[in-house]
Amino acid sequence: MPITVERLSVVADGAERPLLNGISCKFGDGEITIIAGRNGSGKSTLLDALGGLAAFEGSVRVDGLPLTDGNGPEASGIGRIGQQFQYPEAQLFARTVQGEFDYSLRYLKLSRRENARRTDEAMREMGLAPELKTQSPLLLSGGEKRRVALASTLATDPGWLLLDEPTAGLDPEAADRLLGFLLRRKREASGGIVVATHDLDLLLPVADRVIVLQDGCVAADMPASELAASPEIWDRAQIGTPLSVALAEQMRSLGVTVPAKFLTPEEAAGLLAERLTGADGSVAECRPMDSSVEYPTQAEAERNVGTVAGGAATPSGRRRFVQSLDPRTKWLFYMCFSIGLLAQRDWTGVACGLAITAVLELLCRVPLRSMMPILRPFLWFMVISAVVSGIGFGESGGGDGALRLGAVSFSVAAALTSSLELAKIILVMAGGVLLSATTTPFEMKRGIERIAAPLARIKFPVEAISLTGSLLLRFIPVLRKEAGRFNRIAKSRGKRVRRSGTIRLRDLPVMLVPLLLSLLQMASDLSLALEARGYTLRGMPRTAAITLRMKHPDWLAVVAGGALLAILLALSGRS
């Protein structure tokens, strides 16, 4: 049965437009469907929605069953889907290649023998040598990683295969092997195959249906043979004509009869040979190329590149007000905000701080739900600390007015005093999250460096401190990103139905070591990058990557920060 998609919309936090905008389409059983579209058109997002990885509105039914049950992905739905991510690094995490297969197959609870059989078969299918089983997936080449990722998906024998850029980084032999596999699977297995790709020349000839996306909408959805006869669609979707389509057009202009289908190189060569060879075997004279086909000049090509790049950059690339402020302004504002907040001595002051944080959150346009994963553990910490600080023992424990139960007492006043202090710190942290969400790590470092520059004269280690500060703040989003990656793996490969951004406790033993290893790997990459930038060479001057310049809005924001500090200090000193 098909996958049926109705009015599917995906809206991401902070995105200016829906990533997918009410699309409806059908993926046929026993068919290869290609999803084409320029960069950023929504191909990967569509695959993520079909694989239960992206929250969506609308309906997706897999083999007649709904993919979601209202709260999130439905286990039987995602169990029928095997997804290969666009970047294999996002999919692989285990210490060995064998570990990757073990993790993928774990949810099926098969016998050891069956696990080994499926692993061997999938590795053979993808042309992976058995010796690779003991290797770390991180040490494989890009193409090998992709093949391991696909093989570990295949081993689970999913009904549906969702492949994101499956041929990227594959050598011609591996790409051919993949094509052969897709065609075999289409013939022999139940379910269908959905492939998001830019490698149209290779994959269009094996496609049954093509869906062209443009800015999150369906620009074309038709059988491959129909699309082959409508070459103008590529221009309309701003993808550029695939070479195989341009070749077919050229051949038609030379008078060769070309069938309405996407040609493989062999088919194109066969048709040309047929045309050139007469019935008696003589070779016909070839007409010169159709001169009406005009190729762009260098200048036009450069202009086109500019248009495409500009077009792609506009929706997400436009910098918002807070993002565009000088990092020094943001640091100064943040310091005023933090000092003012920490000076508060009662709940009225904290309530004002909360209101200011809410306004800042709106100005920064960072949705609360994207801040909560960072703040939630601290909120829990605050609740637990408040409860613990209120507990007292013995006759005099807890002081006057404490609630008593035998020898144990609970002082609401003590609990509220602790909560007050912790609430201020959480609000300061929320401000830090907003700062790191609207400022790149480079800008942050440069900002602190410039603010603290006068201290360098008294040998204060300005650069080291600014680097440490920005790296610490950078660590929060990196941790979140890693947690998100493991959440996707647990959902897609472990078939764990879980809310986005969270990891189930029982996945921790499997994922903790890889998570730590991955963080260590990042630290090692970072230290190499720092070394390459000359941070280990003491006393050597470095050129600045970012030149900062304060503009009018920056001065206004600094004045606003000063005014905010004055108001908060006045509020704290009013009693």
- Given the rule CB under 6 A, which residues bind ligand ATP? 12, 14-15, 19, 37, 39-45, 86, 316
CB of 431 within 8 A of CB of 357? yes
Which three-class secondary structure string do you get for 353-392?
A: HHHHHHHHHHHHCCCHHHHHHHHHHHHHHHHHHHHHHHEE
Name residues whose C-beta falls within 8 Å of residue 527's C-beta, 6 or more positions apart in sequence. Answer: none
Residue 42 or 77: which CB sits closer to ligand ATP? 42
CB of 279 within 8 A of CB of 255? no
Q: How far is the CB of 33 from ligand ATP (least distance, A)?
A: 15
Residue 46 or 207: which CB sits closer to ligand ATP? 46
Q: How far is the CB of 526 from ligand ATP (least distance, A)?
A: 24
Residue 37 or 73: which CB sits closer to ligand ATP? 37
Residue 41 or 329: which CB sits closer to ligand ATP? 41
- Which residue has 């979601």 as its token pair? 68
Q: Which amino acid is at 432?
A: G
CB of 426 within 8 A of CB of 375? yes
Q: How far is the CB of 41 from ligand ATP (least distance, A)?
A: 4
Residue 239 or 423: which CB sits closer to ligand ATP? 239
Instruction: Provide the 10 A C-beta neighbour count for residue 383.
Output: 13
- Give me the count of residues in the chain: 575
Q: How far is the CB of 146 from ligand ATP (least distance, A)?
A: 14
Residue 374 or 558: which CB sits closer to ligand ATP? 374
Token pair belonging to 372: 């909560």
Q: How far is the CB of 246 from ligand ATP (least distance, A)?
A: 20
Q: How far is the CB of 216 from ligand ATP (least distance, A)?
A: 7
Closest of 428, 420, 416 to residue 356, by C-alpha: 428
Q: How far is the CB of 49 from ligand ATP (least distance, A)?
A: 10
Q: How far is the CB of 143 from ligand ATP (least distance, A)?
A: 18
Residue 230 or 316: which CB sits closer to ligand ATP? 316
DSSP SS3 for 330 = helix
Report d(CA 418, CA 45) in Å as an integer: 44
Q: How far is the CB of 485 from ligand ATP (least distance, A)?
A: 13
Instruction: Provide the 10 A C-beta neighbour count for residue 554.
Output: 20
Q: How far is the CB of 84 from ligand ATP (least distance, A)?
A: 13
- Which residue has 């669609």 as its token pair? 233
Residue 309 or 388: which CB sits closer to ligand ATP? 309
CB of 97 within 8 A of CB of 131? no
Q: At what angle do helices 552-572 and 327-342 cross, to 10 degrees?
A: 10
Residue 19 or 218: which CB sits closer to ligand ATP? 19
Report d(CA 348, CA 361) in Å as an integer: 20
Instruction: Burial-class residue 77 by CB neighbours within 10 Å (0-12, 13-18, 19+).
Output: buried
Report d(CA 413, CA 120) in Å as an integer: 65
Give buried/exposed letters for 435-466 (b at 16+ CB in 10 A, else e).
bbbbbebebbbbbbbbbbeeeeeeeeebbeeb
Residue 205 or 216: which CB sits closer to ligand ATP? 216
Q: How far is the CB of 436 from ligand ATP (least distance, A)?
A: 16
Report, in angstroms and rounded to the nearest whole number, the Rg of the chain calculated over CA atoms.
30
Helix, strand, coil in percent for the chain, rounding step 5: 55, 10, 30
Q: How far is the CB of 350 from ligand ATP (least distance, A)?
A: 32
Q: At what angle do helices 441-451 and 327-342 cross, to 10 degrees?
A: 70
Q: How far is the CB of 194 from ligand ATP (least distance, A)?
A: 13
What torsion, rounded to 10 degrees, do the Cα atoms 411, 413, 418, 420 define? 150
Distance of CA 568 to the CA centre of its chain: 39
Write out the DSSP string of 176-236. HHHHHHHHHHHHHSSS-EEEE-S-HHHHGGG-SEEEEEETTEEEEEEEHHHHHT-THHHHH
Q: How far is the CB of 311 from ligand ATP (least distance, A)?
A: 11
Residue 40 or 169: which CB sits closer to ligand ATP? 40
Residue 24 or 316: which CB sits closer to ligand ATP? 316
Q: Tell me, what DSSP letter sits at residue 68?
A: B
DSSP SS3 for 461 = coil
Residue 52 or 392: which CB sits closer to ligand ATP? 52
Residue 12 or 391: which CB sits closer to ligand ATP? 12
